[in-house]
């Protein structure tokens, strides 16, 4: 699954890079931030073309962007 440019993947919040480590488990790429993500915040993962390969050895042909929002902190909400 890895490719030469896997270190070009970005995890971003508010235009700020978030440091992370990655792991590959069989055919799954796991992006593990070095710090906890903030509650109720929007993040973006950008996976550039040719940064990963599929299980047949083919490169990702186009950049892929994933946007997601974390959950609201339900424990500390009044």
The pTM (predicted TM-score) of the whole model is 0.84
Specify the residue for token string 């550039």: 48
Look at residue 77 and tell me if it is in a domain.
no
Which residue did the predictor score with more confidence, 3 or 37? 37
Residue at 40 is within a domain: yes
24, two tokens: 């590959």
Q: Can you give the residue range of the structural domain that contains 25?
A: 6-69
Alpha-carbon gap, residue 18 to 44, rounded angstroms: 10
Domains held by the chain: number: 1
In a domain, 1, yes or no: no
Question: How far, in Å, CA of 32 to CA of 25, rounded?
Answer: 13
Asked if residue 15 belongs to a domain, the reply is yes
Domain-located, residue 25: yes
The tokens describing 14, both together, are 């508010």
Residue 64 lies in a domain: yes
The percentage of the chain sitting over the pLDDT mark of 70, rounded to a whole number, equals 91
């Amino acid at each position: 699954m890895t490719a030469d440019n896997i270190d070009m993947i970005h995890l971003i919040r508010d235009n700020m890079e978030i440091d992370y480590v990655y792991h590959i488990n069989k055919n799954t790429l796991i992006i593990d931030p070095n710090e906890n993500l903030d509650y109720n915040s929007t993040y973006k993962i950008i996976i550039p073309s040719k940064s990963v390969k599929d299980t047949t050895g083919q490169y990702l042909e186009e950049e892929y962007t994933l946007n997601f929002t974390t959950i609201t902190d339900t424990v500390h909400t009044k």
